[in-house]
């Protein structure tokens, strides 16, 4: 049997790169689709825009499967941009699969697609809810997940959605890098003493779960799964572990969660009119994420995907520390 050809969208990102590498190492023929070359040895780059249907169709031609990770991931910005990339891009992927005669799709979503601002304590994957999800990223990813799942079983397409929760690892500039930079400058608050209990996912564990979904899609198509390490820790402990790995002081600034949510709402309004050069220091969604418990029951996920995390939180922090020794915080 010949090796499958798998297209990975968004392979220039940390998780996308890990997925492309894992598939390559298992013998798949892997293509990477994004705006600029991913530069992964043994992986073919196909450059283009997710919002251009012709670009996406060109990338999908001849592929047996697509792992769709590319998205606009941020805590601020015009909702139109999120809609064009997250919803419109997913539509383009589905249309390209239809034109290709079908195939399998692992749609990489997010737990925030079903996070309604309340605590999530030991739940499985609940339905994506674009009407009540918090913030433009979550709303558009929820809509994109519903769009993808509605296509399951039609036109020769099989779809499953994987929602990795708070993915982190060495070289992560989106999350760990921002946390460490703000902690080093004394600008990282702990909301409600940082006592909210949260799950996170080490990057190679998330990649392994996505590959498992690809392998088992005949059995799990039509279903959504939340992925995590299954080791809930307090926000304070998670941040402290990353800061220790980077060699910077853990955050000591304390802010009530209610105050941060109000401040985030006000900052968002100011940012809409006068955006800064970087993301805003706080948004209502970010304040909710930092002050609300969100951890998940992983039993169904592990049973059906036949997957378990290989890297513990402590081992992940040790690998992170090794990376920071080679790339010290300036």
Average pLDDT for the chain = 91
What is the pLDDT at residue 287? 77
Residue-level pLDDT at 77: 72
pLDDT of residue 240: 95
Mean pLDDT of 262-280: 72
pLDDT digits (tens, 9 = 90+) for 205-215: 999 999 999 99
Return the structure tokens found at 85: 């990339």
Q: Walk me through the domains of the chain, giving residue ranges and CATH numbers.
A: 5-165+201-228+296-310 (3.40.50.720)
Q: State how far the Cα of 149 lies from the Cα of 54, in Å rounded to an integer.
A: 23
pLDDT tier at 262 (50, 70, 90 boundaries)? confident
Tell me what pLDDT residue 325 has: 94
User: Which residues have a catalytic role annotated?
Assistant: 137
- Please, are residues 8 and 20 in contact by the beta-carbon 8 Å criterion? yes
Do the Cβ atoms of 248 and 329 come closer than 8 Å? Answer: yes
pLDDT band at 220 (very low <50, low <70, confident <90, very high): very high
Asked if 183 contacts 249 with a C-beta cutoff of 8 angstroms, the reply is yes
Q: Cβ(6)–Cβ(32) under 8 Å?
A: no
240 closest CA partner among 228, 231, 251: 251
| Cα 64 from Cα 47, distance rounded (Å) | 19
Q: Which residues are paired to 327 by β-bridges?
A: none
- Closest CA relative to residue 285, chosen from 125, 167, 116, 171: 116
pTM score, whole prediction: 0.93
Question: Residue 276: which pLDDT band, with cuts at 50, 70 and 90?
Answer: low
- 265 has pLDDT over 60: yes
What 3-state class would DSSP assign to 283?
Answer: coil
Tokens 């979550």, located at residue: 138
- Three-class secondary structure of residue 105 per DSSP: strand
* Mean pLDDT of the 13-41 span: 94
Strands 233-234 vs 197-198: parallel, antiparallel or unpaired:
antiparallel
- pLDDT, residue 299, reads 97
Query: Alpha carbon of 152 to those of 47, 179, 209: distances in Å?
Result: 27, 38, 20
228: pLDDT strictly greater than 60: yes
The CA-based dihedral angle spanning residues 137, 138, 139, 145, taken in that order and rounded to the nearest 10 degrees: 110
Distance CA 15, CA 168 (A): 9
Rounded mean pLDDT of 161-168?
96
């Amino acid at each position: 049997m010949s090796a499958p050809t798998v297209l990975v969208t968004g392979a220039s990102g940390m998780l996308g790169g890990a997925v492309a590498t894992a598939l390559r190492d298992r013998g798949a023929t892997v293509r990477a689709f994004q705006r600029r070359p991913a530069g992964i040895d043994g992986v073919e780059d196909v450059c283009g825009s997710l919002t251009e249907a012709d670009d996406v169709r060109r990338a999908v031609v001849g592929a047996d499967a697509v792992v769709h990770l590319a998205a606009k991931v941020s805590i601020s910005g015009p909702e139109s941009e999120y809609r064009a990339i997250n919803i419109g891009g997913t539509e383009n992927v589905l249309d390209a699969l239809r034109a290709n005669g079908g195939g399998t799709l692992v749609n990489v979503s997010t737990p925030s697609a079903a996070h309604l601002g309340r605590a999530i304590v030991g739940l499985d994957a609940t339905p994506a809810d674009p009407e009540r999800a918090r913030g433009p990223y979550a709303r558009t990813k929820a809509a994109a997940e519903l769009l993808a799942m509605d296509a399951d079983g039609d036109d020769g397409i099989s779809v499953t959605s994987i929602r990795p929760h708070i993915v982190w690892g060495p070289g992560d500039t989106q999350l760990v890098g921002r946390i460490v930079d703000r902690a080093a400058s004394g600008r990282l608050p702990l909301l409600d003493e940082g006592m909210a209990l949260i799950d996170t996912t080490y990057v190679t564990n998330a990649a392994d779960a996505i590959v498992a979904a690809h392998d088992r899609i005949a059995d799990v198509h039509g279903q959504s799964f939340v992925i995590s390490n299954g080791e809930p820790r307090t926000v304070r402990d998670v941040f402290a572990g990353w800061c220790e790995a980077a060699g910077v002081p853990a955050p000591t600034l304390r802010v009530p969660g209610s105050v941060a949510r109000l401040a985030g709402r006000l900052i968002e309004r100011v940012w809409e009119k006068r955006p800064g050069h970087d993301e805003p220091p706080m948004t209502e969604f970010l304040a909710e994420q930092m002050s609300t418990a969100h951890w998940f029951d992983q039993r169904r996920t592990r049973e059906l995907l036949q997957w378990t995390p290989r890297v513990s939180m402590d081992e992940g922090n040790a690998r992170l520390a090794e990376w920071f020794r080679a790339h010290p915080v300036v």
